[in-house]
Structure 1
Amino acid sequence: MDVDLRQANLIVSEEDDILGSDFKAITLKPAEQQICTLIHYQVPANIEPAGIALLYVHGYTDYFYQAGLAEFFAELGCDFYAVDLHGYGRSIRPFQADHNKNQFSNYYHDLDACLNTMAAKGVKRCVILGHSTGGLIVSRYLSNEYSSRSDSIDIIGLILNSPFLSLPMPLNEEKWRLPLYNFISKALTHISLPAKTATPYAQTLHESLAGEWGYRLDWKPSQGSPLSFNWVQKIIQEQALCLQTQCDIPTLLCRSSKSTYKSPNVAEIKQGDGVLDVENMEAKAKRIFTELDIAIIDKGFHDIYLSPLDVRLTYLDKIKHWLTSNFINFEK
């Protein structure tokens, strides 16, 4: 462990993770009253290192539990890291604000802490993978406003898995719907609507419903979080700010072939992205990222990695091809 980081009170502890002893959970303290957790899965000794690390940033009401994703990147020779942002998953603490009340700037402190810790472990080059709200957070972090926050690691690439760059609505409806949503969220900023039943999308995921995944429901509840108008207001603000900047980091946008968030039943939800409008998402990404590649995954779920196995393998193959075409000088 790096002594300087301990002396700076950044690293609180490092221990075996809930995913097993191959995973290490590093508890970090980016700021006072703020905890985040960095999960590390190292490249096995029998695999040639690629000299690149991958940092995964989860979405809203989420945490990292996809062990197979870590194994995939490790097989490519990439050290794998994931962060449970403060207020989520492993990083939930009673003294921290509910994630619906957090400022986005606090998440940038989390990312600073993660990158500095990775640098202390020898990482020099990093690709970040952001899912949904994590994709929005990372996009803002890498914008011109935040690009100089940490020079400890060279961030050479960005992968976006269904990033939350726009609210779930068709692009041609934004002109009237966004001002309306903005007005409502400001007027009701202190109100949250309770979440009582499992969302249709969540029903496609957890093994207790119609899915295959066994994640912790206390950390990722099937009913989601209460709808906080304060959170909606912040999302609208951050999405607008994101569109005011451009990012020239090579970026791969992975999105489903269609949106199904308006579908009435689980069977139809399973045919695409059950949360966001994929065409609107792509349009926003084209405005923000100047070095953009796009991978459209047929029948991909909102979190494409959680899709059925054949779809999931297509998604991973797209990522592998992009990485080996741009950064890794070998094919496996």
Structure 2
Amino acid sequence: MSDQQSGEWRPDVLGEGFEQRTLPLGTDDEGEVVATLVRYTPGFRWPRRRGAASGADVLYVHGWSDYFFNTELARFWADAGARFFALDLRKYGRSLRPGQTPGYVTDLATYDGDLAAALEAMGHGEATDAASARPLILMGHSTGGLTLSLWASRHPGRAAALILNSPWLEFQLSRAGRQALAPVIGWGARVNPLGPMPNVDLGFYTRSVSRSFGGEWDYSFDWRPERGFTTHPAWLTGVLAGHAAVAAGIDVGAPALTLLSTRSTLLPRWDEAMRESDSVLVVDEIAERATRLGPDVAVSRIDRALHDVFLSRAPARAAAYAAITRWLRGYAPRR
């Protein structure tokens, strides 16, 4: 479908109940740039008891080398009483155009444009009367969790609650490793910003998620490659700057819940434990970094969860949904 239909809701690849809308974001060195907003409209449902998120709007943002495809997550939020939206950021998933460098930005604040366009389309633009607006719940996974945390700290009061699914709040080599690596990566970003970096993704995470390799999920390998997108120095410099900001302490301006696995399995070889643990991040370190997001934060550790908690096996997913429901009933504002 061409971008001439930008601004129109049309059927999405996820099928019945899902629609997408192209959000024009101007141009850059690689041509026209867009984001894509997805919404779930389940249709008529028999009246049920008030859900934990009744009257709220949820905006979900994916992580690195990813896009939105989790229909179960959308249905959870609909059952909780919320209107659910998901955003494929520029140069990811539905928003990736021929000739573009997948996922490439040099500053995570670039996504302010994507988020502004999405929120405007949802009825949460800056000019919206806060007194009449539905509460906004932001939900981000991995790099999306980092991006939303930084955005919320720059836009206090816009979000009523923040839910983070294994957010990438610190580099895997810890703060000391990040500080040692940052000057080297920064030099590379100046000399050759788009130079390809060594691929350290051995495909183990894909093996734990994709049905093709023994996982439970079907998705597009064009939009979520087996070994991830190629990374570049200028992109990593932007991510490291985000990590440094979180380490110094920020305030997201709303109650925040971080969901994490109980353990990590980071190895140079495949291990079956990777099917029931985080094989991407050091979860104990992320749990500590989550406390730097503001004065009102909570961390919920989910046994046997993957890096994307909501792609874990069914018992871990159920535990994560239950954790969100408990937290919402205690913290999330309602309309």
- TM-score, reference length from structure 1: 0.86
For residue 13 of structure 1, give the secondary structure of its aligned residue in structure 2: coil
Aligned to 1:37: 36
Partner residue, 1:327? 332
Checking the alignment, whether the CA contact within 8 Å between 1:52 and 1:123 is kept in structure 2 is no
Q: C-alpha distance in 2, partners of 1:27/1:123?
A: 23
Counting aligned pairs with the same residue, the percent is 29
8 Å contact kept, 2:256–2:297: yes
Per the alignment, residue 255 of structure 1 pairs with 260
1:137 maps to what in 2? 147
CA distance in 1, matches of 2:232, 2:111: 18
Q: What are the residue-to-residue correspondences of 1:250-329 with 2, within 5 Å?
A: 250-262=255-267, 264-327=269-332
CA distance in 1, matches of 2:254, 2:100: 33
Letter in structure 2 aligned against 1:70: A
Determine whether 1:209 maps to 2:204.
no
CA shift, 1:22, in A, is: 0.7
Matches within 5 A, 1:105-184: 105-119=109-123, 124-143=134-153, 145-147=154-156, 154-169=158-173, 171=174, 174-175=175-176, 177-184=177-184
Residue of structure 2 equivalent to 1:239: 243
Instruction: Provide the rounded CA distance (Å) in 2 between the counterparts of 1:10 and 1:280.
Output: 44
In structure 1, C-alpha distance between the alignment counterparts of 2:25 and 2:270, rounded to whole Å: 42
| Aligned counterpart, 1:28 | 23
- Please report how far the alpha carbon of residue 102 of structure 1 lies from its aligned counterpart in structure 2 after TM superposition: 4.6
Equivalent position SS for 1:253: strand
CA distance in structure 2 between the aligned counterparts of 1:294 and 1:98, rounded to whole angstroms: 31
Q: How far apart, CA to CA, are the structure 1 residues paired with 2:78 and 2:238?
A: 35
Code of the aligned partner of 1:12: G
Greater relative CO (CA pairs within 8 A, separation 6+): 2
Aligned residues: CA RMSD? 2.5
CA 1:197–1:51: 2 relative to 1, 3 Å: closer
Aligned length: 312
In the alignment, the residues of structure 1 paired with residue 201 and residue 140 of structure 2 have an alpha-carbon distance, to the nearest angstrom, of 27
Q: TM-score, normalised by structure 2?
A: 0.85
Between the aligned partners of 1:183 and 1:227, the Cα distance in structure 2 is 17
Q: Within 5 Å, give how 1:6-25 maps onto structure 2.
A: 11-25=6-20
Matched-pair contact (CA < 8 Å) for 2:135–2:333: no
Matched, 1:227 2:227: no
Residue type at the aligned position of 2:135? R
Which residue does 2:128 correspond to in 1? Answer: none
In 2, are the aligned partners of 1:55 and 1:129 still within 8 Å (CA)? yes
Q: Which structure 2 segments of 5+ residues have no match?
A: 126-131
Distance 1:292 1:276, change over 3 A: same
Shift of 1:129: 0.6
Distance 1:55 1:303, change over 3 A: same
- Once the 2 structures are TM-superposed, how far is the Cα of residue 85 of structure 1 from its aligned partner? 0.4
Cα distance in 2 between the residues matched to 1:62 and 1:24: 18
